[in-house]
Amino acid sequence: MDSIFDNTSHAPTERFFRSLKHEQLNYEKLKTKEAAKLSVIDYLAFYNGRRSHSALGYQTPIEFEREFFNNAA
């Protein structure tokens, strides 16, 4: 079982939040919680549907998942 102090077990999550901050939130002045929520939702749509990832063979996460399940069937 992973220790809560083991930073390596949280690497994908930490990387996502780093990308969110550096690619989205640092460029916006969010005045309300609702604006922040909508900004994160927009980024999630971009991150999963349009942003290619080198670890996934330069596919988007949605493309990678679709291909994975099509090949598993």
Please name the amino acid found at residue 57.
G
In the predicted structure, residue 72 carries a pLDDT above the cut 80: yes
Between CA 3 and CA 63 the distance in angstroms is 32
pLDDT of residue 12: 83
Decide: pTM greater than 0.85: no
Residue 60 phi/psi, 5-degree rounding, is: -80, 160
Q: Supply 26's token pair.
A: 């640092």
Q: What are the pLDDT digits (tens) for 41-70?
A: 999 999 999 999 999 999 999 999 999 999
Q: What is the DSSP track for 41-70?
A: HHHHHHHHHT--BGGGTSB-HHHHHHHHHH
